[in-house]
Amino acid sequence: MTLLGPLGFTAPWLLLGLLVLPVLWVILRAVPPAPIRRLFPGVVLLLGLRDEDQVTDRTPWWLLLLRMLAVAAVIVGLAGPVLNPEEDGQVAGSGPLLVVMDASWASARDWRAEQMALESLLARAERESRPVALLRLTAPEPVQFQQAAVLRARLTGLRPEPWQPDEPQIATALDLLPESGFDSYWMSDGLDRDSRAPLLAALEQRGDLTVFESPRSLYALHPARFEEGHVRLTARRLRAGPETEVQILGHGLDPAGNPAVLVRAPLTFAGDATEAELDLSLPAELRARITRFEVEGARSAGAVTLPDDSLRRREVALIAGSENREGLELLSPLHYLHRALEADADILEGALSDVLPANPDVIVLADVATLSPAEAQGVTDWLDQGGTLLRFAGPRLAGSDVSRETEDPLMPVRLRAGGRSVGGAMSWGEPKTLAPFPEDSPFAGLAIPEDVTVTSQVMAQPDPTLASRVIAQLTDGTPLVTRKRVGQGQVVLVHVTANAEWSTLPLSGLFVQMLERLAISAMPATPAPEDLAGTVWQPVRVLDAFGAVGDAGTLPGVAGEDLLAAALGPDLRPGLYQGEDRSLARNVVTQETVLEPMMWPDSVPVEGLSRPQETPLSGWLLALAIALLLADVVASLALSGRLRGARAAMVLLLALAVAPVQGRAQETAADDFARAATAEVTLAHVLTGDARLDEVAGAGLRGLTQTLFFRTSVEPAEPMGVDLERDELAFFPLLYWPVTPSQPQPSAEAYAKLNEYLRSGGMILFDTRDADVAGFGAASPEGRKLRELAAPLDIPPLEPVPQDHVLTRTFYLLQDFPGRYNSRDVWVEAAPPDAELIEGMPFRNLNDNVTPVVIGGNDWASAWAVEENGAPMVRIGSGFAGERQREIAYRFGVNLVMHVLTGNYKSDQVHVPALLDRLGQ
C-alpha cells in the first residue's frame, strides 16, 4: 500500500492513468458535439449562410473540465484510495499476541470504539497468522492462544463488567499469564489503579507492550445525598478541561407507572475543575419515585447512581393521647420523637382520621389507649397494606382496659392491669436495665449504653405467642418492645413512655438507633458494615457496565457486611439490594471514589482510540464520477438545445401537486361520514359483504327507525351501513351485526375500535339468524362464526335474558324477543353475582349500565325490514299470528333502542316508591 499523507492506495499503478487526461482534453476539444437533425421549413433562408467561426464549435471549457473530473474520479476511485489506512508498523511483530482488556465499567464508555480497534487488530493478526489470546482483567480466564478468526467470531459477545479489576483479579491474571514469548496489547480504561503495576511489569518482561487508551473524558456520579432539603449530586470527570455542561437525568416511574425521565438538570464543570455539584430541590413525592440518576449519554455504570432508601424520607404521623400540657415541652410525649425524627423524616401531626388518608409510612401513638371503631378500622386497613404502627405505653394505656381480656388487634400482646414500677421511691427493686438483644431481633447488634434504665413499664400477659413477639427485653426477662405482624404491616409496642418519665431510653442514642432499626426514621446514607452483620440482602436490580438497570433474576443474596465493605465483583454486583425492611444501593462509584488518569511509563507506547478509522474512498469517488457524468448529460443537453427543462419541471410539479389532493379527498369523506352520522341519532348495521344480507339489515333498521319515529320520542335518521375497517363507530348507539359464516374476520385495528366502542357504552346486537334450525350455541355455522368473531372482543360474562332484565320493560312490557323466529335464547350481560331480590321490590337491582352485547338468532332485521314504500319485506309466520309476531319484534327493537339510550333508567324506577315515601307523600 502506498501512502500519501493520510491517504493510501491499494492499486497505486492505476494512478498513471491520470497522465492520459491531457491527451483526452485535446481529443475532446477537437471533437465537436454530435449534430442534431431538425426539420425546419425555413432552411431555404439558411442556404448559403456560413458559420463565422470556421473552426469547429468547441465544447465549452467548463464542460470539458467536468468530463475531465469525472474521468479523473474514475481513475482515482479504481486505484483504491483508503483514508487513514491501518499502518503495518503499529503492532508489528510475529509470534503470539495477548490482548489484555480492562473491561471495567470505565471501559464501557468507549466499548464500541474498543471493539472496533480490537476488530482491526484481529484482522491484521489474521493476515499475519499470529495466534491471539484475550484476557479480560475483570473476569480473567485461562490464556489460550488461538487463531484470530476464532476470536473475531466471539468479539460481539464481549462485554465489559460493571466493576474494576482489583488485586484479586490481577493476581489471578498474573497466574494465568504464560511464561514468556508473546507481545501484549493492553486496552486500558484510563483509570489509575495501584493494581496495574505488577501486571505492567509482568507484561513488559514477557514481550513488547502497547497500550490503547481512550482520550475521551469519563464521568462518574457519586451517590446522591440528601442535605439541607436538597438532593445533592456530585459528579466527577477524569481529566480537567474547559467548562463543560452535562445533563443529569433522574429516571423513575411517572404517576401512571411508566418509566420516564422525572428530572433533568444541567450540571456544569467549571474550567479546570474535575468535580461539580448539583443541588436538586425536589418535592418528596417526586424524590421518592426516582430510581436512578445518570449523566446523560455517558453510557457507563460509573455515571449511574441508584438512590436507595436514603433519599426517601418517611412520613411519620405523631399522635399523642394527651396534648394539653402546655409549657412542659420536655414532658410532652412527642418531644423526643420529634427530636429523633425531624432530621430524616417528614412529620405529620393531626387527628388520626386526618392523617390516615395521607397514608403515612408510620403512625406513632404515644400513650393512646382506645381508638374509635372507625379509626380502628382505618388503622387496620392501613396496617394491612404495610403500615407500621408504633405505640408507646403510658399512664393512660396502663390504666385502660385495652387488650386486657382479649388481644386487641392493634396491640401486639395482652397487657396486665396497671403495669408496674420498679426502682422508684416506693418500691424495692432497682431500676431495670436492658438485656442484650436476641439474635433474631431487629435490634441485634446494637450496643446498650450503661445508663439506660427503666423504672416503669406495662406488663405483658404471658401468652403462648408472647415469646415470639418480644424483640427487646429487660434484664429480668420482662418485655420492653413487642411486635406482631398484621397483614403486610406491623404493630410495635414499646412498653415504656415516649418521654423520659418511665425510663431514660428516650434520652439515649439507643432510642434513635432503635427507631432506625424499626425503619421508622431513614437511616444514614451508609450504615456501618458492622451494623449489617448477620443480615442477608437480596439483589433486586443490578447494573451492567453500560449503566443499564436489569432484573437481578436468581442472583444469590449477599451478606450484610460484604455488601458495604467488599469490593464489587462477580459475587457482588452493583445494584439495589433488598433487606428486611429497607433497600440499600451499592453503586459503582462511592463517595470515596477518586478518578485519576493513568500515567503510563515512558517505555510503553500509548495509542488513542480516537485514531481515525480506515475509510475506503473508492465508492465515494466512483459515485462522484457518476454524478459528474449525470451533470455532463444535463449540461450537454442544455448546450445543444435539447433540454426541455420547463416541461420536465412541469411534470415534477404535477406529481407533487397530485398527492396532497388525494389526502384531502379522504379527509373530506371521513368528515362527511361523521357529519351524516351525528346530525341525528343513527342506527347502524355492520356491512358483512353479502349484498342481500346488507340490504335486509338496512331495511330492517329502516323499519325500526320508522317505528321509533312514530311511537316514541326517539327520532332517528336514516340507518347507515358501517365498514368496520374504515368507519368510526363512536357515533352509533347500536350496531346490528348479522352473522354469516362467510364474512371476513375484522382486522386487529377494527377489533381495537370495537372494544373501545363497547367500553364507551356502545351496544352490538349479534344476530346469527338461525334460531329456526339451531338452538343457541356452536351447532350452526353461524354460531361457530360468531364465536370466532367475538373471541377478541371484550365481552363480559353472559346469561340468557332474565325475567326481570331491564330490557323487558324499557318501553313495552315484554317477555319474548321474537324476530322472524321466536326463540328465547337471547343472551345479555350476566347480572352481578350479588344481585338479589329485595323484599317488596319487583325487580332486582341489576347492572348499572347498558349490556354491551345482545346475542341471539331470531333474525330481527327480517322482521323489521320494510321496503321503501313501507310494506313489509319479509313474510313472518302466517296470518294474524305472524303479524302479531312482527309487532312484538318491533316492540323488542323499541325496547332495545330505549335501553341503549336510557341505560338503567328503568331499573332506577325501582326506587321511586321509596323516594316518594321519603318526600312524605
Partner 1 sequence: MTSDIAQLRQHAQEEASRFPALLARADQLAGTVLLGEHGRRRAGLGDDFWQYRPLRPGDTWRSIDWRRSGRGDEQFVREREWQIAQSVQLWVDGGASLRFASDRNLPSKADRARLVALAAAILLVRGGERVGLTGWALPPRNGDVQILRLAEALAEEGEADYSAPEARGMIPHARAIFVSDFLGDLDPIEAALTKAADRGVRGVLLQVLDPAEENFPFAGRTIFQSVGGTIAHETLKAGDLREKYLARLADRKARLDHLSRLTGWHYLCHHTNDSAQNALLWIWRAMDGGHG
Rounded least distance, CB 112 to partner 1, Å: 55
162 by Cβ neighbours in 10 Å (0-12 / 13-18 / 19+) ranks as buried
Q: Binding residue for partner 1 (CB under 8 A) from 6, 11, 29, 56? A: 56
Judged by phi (left if over 0) then psi (alpha if -120 to 50, else beta), residue 691 lies in: alpha
- Binding string, 80-109, against partner 1, x = CB under 8 A? ------------------------------
Which of 610, 640 has the CB closer to partner 1? 640
Q: Binding residue for partner 1 (CB under 8 A) from 19, 23, 26, 43? A: 43
Which of 56, 815 has the CB closer to partner 1? 56
Which of 41, 373 has the CB closer to partner 1? 41
Rounded least distance, CB 650 to partner 1, Å: 12
- Phi, psi (rounded to 5 degrees) for 569: -170, -170
- Phi, psi (rounded to 5 degrees) for 211: -115, 140
Q: Which stretch binds partner 1 (CB under 8 A): 51-59, 382-390, 593-601, 791-799?
A: 51-59
Cα torsion 622, 627, 628, 629: sign? positive
Rounded least distance, CB 61 to partner 1, Å: 16
Q: For residues 391 and 387, what is the distance between their CA atoms, to the nearest angstrom? A: 13
Q: Binding residue for partner 1 (CB under 8 A) from 6, 22, 32, 168? A: 32
Q: For residues 130 and 208, what is the distance between their CA atoms, to the nearest angstrom? A: 14
Q: Which stretch binds partner 1 (CB under 8 A): 40-48, 73-81, 295-303, 593-601?
A: 40-48
SS (H, E, C) 116-180: HHHHHHHHHHHHCCCCEEEEECCCCCCCCCECHHHHHHHHHHCCCCCCCCCHHHHHHHHHHCCCC
Q: For residues 798 and 791, what is the distance between their CA atoms, to the nearest angstrom? A: 13
- Binding string, 592-631, against partner 1, x = CB under 8 A? ----------------------------------------
Which of 46, 871 has the CB closer to partner 1? 46
Instruction: Name 68's Cβ contacts closer than 8 Å, sequence gap at least 6.
Output: 21, 24, 25
Q: Which stretch binds partner 1 (CB under 8 A): 265-273, 274-282, 514-522, 636-644?
A: 636-644
Q: Binding residue for partner 1 (CB under 8 A) from 13, 40, 710, 880? A: 40
Which of 58, 420 has the CB closer to partner 1? 58
Hey, is 485 helix, strand or coil?
strand
Q: Binding residue for partner 1 (CB under 8 A) from 46, 256, 426, 912? A: 46
Angstrom CA distances, 100 to 172, 184, 576, 648, 830, stand at 13, 7, 30, 62, 70
Give the CA diameter of the chain.
149
Q: Which stretch binds partner 1 (CB under 8 A): 53-61, 129-137, 231-239, 767-775?
A: 53-61
Which of 60, 93 has the CB closer to partner 1? 60
Hey, is 531 helix, strand or coil?
helix
Rounded least distance, CB 25 to partner 1, Å: 20
283 binds partner 1 (CB under 8 A): no
Angle 449-452-455 (CA atoms, 0-180°, nearest 5)? 165
Q: Which stretch binds partner 1 (CB under 8 A): 15-23, 38-46, 103-111, 343-351?
A: 38-46
Rounded least distance, CB 113 to partner 1, Å: 55
Hey, is 342 helix, strand or coil?
coil
Which of 29, 264 has the CB closer to partner 1? 29
End-to-end, the C-alpha distance of the chain in Å comes to 109
Q: Which stretch binds partner 1 (CB under 8 A): 32-40, 444-452, 720-728, 912-920?
A: 32-40
Q: Which stretch binds partner 1 (CB under 8 A): 36-44, 314-322, 562-570, 810-818?
A: 36-44
Hey, is 215 helix, strand or coil?
coil
| Neighbour tally for 768: CB within 10 Å | 26
- Phi, psi (rounded to 5 degrees) for 204: -65, -35
34 binds partner 1 (CB under 8 A): yes
Q: Binding residue for partner 1 (CB under 8 A) from 13, 26, 41, 660? A: 41
Strands 489-494, 388-392: parallel, antiparallel or unpaired by DSSP?
Answer: parallel
Comparing CA positions, the residue from 299, 277, 304, 134 lying closest to residue 217 is 299
Residues 134-193 that bind partner 1 (CB under 8 A): none
Which of 41, 879 has the CB closer to partner 1? 41
Q: What is the helix (H) or strand (E) element at residue 381, kind and residue range?
A: helix 373-384
Which of 40, 880 has the CB closer to partner 1? 40
Q: For residues 191 and 136, what is the distance between their CA atoms, to the nearest angstrom? A: 16
Rounded least distance, CB 42 to partner 1, Å: 5
The residues with which 712 forms a beta bridge, in sequence order, are none
Which of 13, 40 has the CB closer to partner 1? 40
Which of 53, 834 has the CB closer to partner 1? 53
Residues 637-676 that bind partner 1 (CB under 8 A): 639-641
Total site size for partner 1, rule CB under 8 A: 25
Q: Which stretch binds partner 1 (CB under 8 A): 52-60, 159-167, 697-705, 754-762?
A: 52-60
Q: Binding residue for partner 1 (CB under 8 A) from 19, 23, 26, 45? A: 45
Q: Which stretch binds partner 1 (CB under 8 A): 37-45, 624-632, 753-761, 875-883?
A: 37-45
| Neighbour tally for 571: CB within 10 Å | 11
Rounded least distance, CB 69 to partner 1, Å: 22
Rounded least distance, CB 643 to partner 1, Å: 11
Hey, is 54 helix, strand or coil?
coil
Dump the DSSP string for 864-881: H-B-TTS-BSS--SSHHH
Residues that bind partner 1 (CB under 8 A): 32-47, 49, 51-53, 56-57, 639-641
